[in-house]
Amino acid sequence: MKNKIRLVLTFAIAILSLGYLNAQDNKKDQSLTLAEFESKLYKEGAKAQIIDARSLEEYQQNHLVGAISLNASDDAEFQKQVVRLKKDKPVFVYSIGNGRSNALKKKLQANGFSEVYELPGGFSNWVGSGKKVVSSTSNGLTLDEYKKLIKSDNLVLVDIGSKYCGACKRLAPIVDSVAGNHPKDLKVVKIEFFENKQLGVDLNINSLPTLILYKDDKIVWQKNGVSSKDQIEKEILSAQTKSASLK
């Protein structure tokens, strides 16, 4: 009886240990740096299985070299495409941030793919870091053109985002509302990130959306992600107060 209990306990410990090791492996995959992701990707070379989890329109505009387009939300298309991939080879997935790519990663793992790497920070991080992409668009505004665009005697709020980005869409009406409150003392400039890739590199933009508040051509506030109207108004008031105190 004691031997049986001992055997059951040994088996249970083994199972728990295996689960822990798998969790550690998954954690490692999820915490890759951009440099580590890029290194693994290029190590595979032409054999790399790279999947773009964004829409076909986004893919056609800009994508990683060698990537294929695969929308995880379309089950029929997913099953059609997934049979072409090799389960014993690493797969590299990405989307704008990590929303759609994370969903695709989980779907691939559920279908037996044991080694799936997600681009940390998403495609916006890749583009903003100046990495190579296949593109059908120009580089857009130069840094000099941008500097002329934000030139103003008033505060300037720059909204850098994308029409494809969910968080950017949530931020857009908030920025519009703030602009409506400051018709005479605030200039708002909106930049489509993926149509101005070099500018994203020059401004060191690696996440969408990004808000930048300028006063006299100098950055007084910058924030990634969706900001509330109250937060933006607070930063505008702070910049105006500091400016008035210097006069």
Report, as residue numbers or ranges, the catalytic residues. 165, 168
3-class SS at 18? Answer: helix
Question: Contact 227/174 with Cβ under 8 angstroms?
Answer: yes
Q: Among all chains, which residue has been given the structure tokens 């100046």?
A: 130
d(CA 166, CA 169): 5
d(CA 11, CA 203): 55
Region for 225 from its dihedrals, namely left if φ exceeds 0, alpha if ψ lies in -120 to 50, beta otherwise:
left
Q: Among all chains, which residue has been given the structure tokens 């797969």?
A: 91
Cis peptide before 209 (omega within 30 of 0): yes
- Measured in whole angstroms, the distance separating CA 36 from the mean position of its chain's CA atoms is 16
Instruction: Please give the order of strands across the beta sheet that includes 49-52.
Output: 67-69, 49-52, 91-94, 116-118
d(CA 225, CA 168): 8
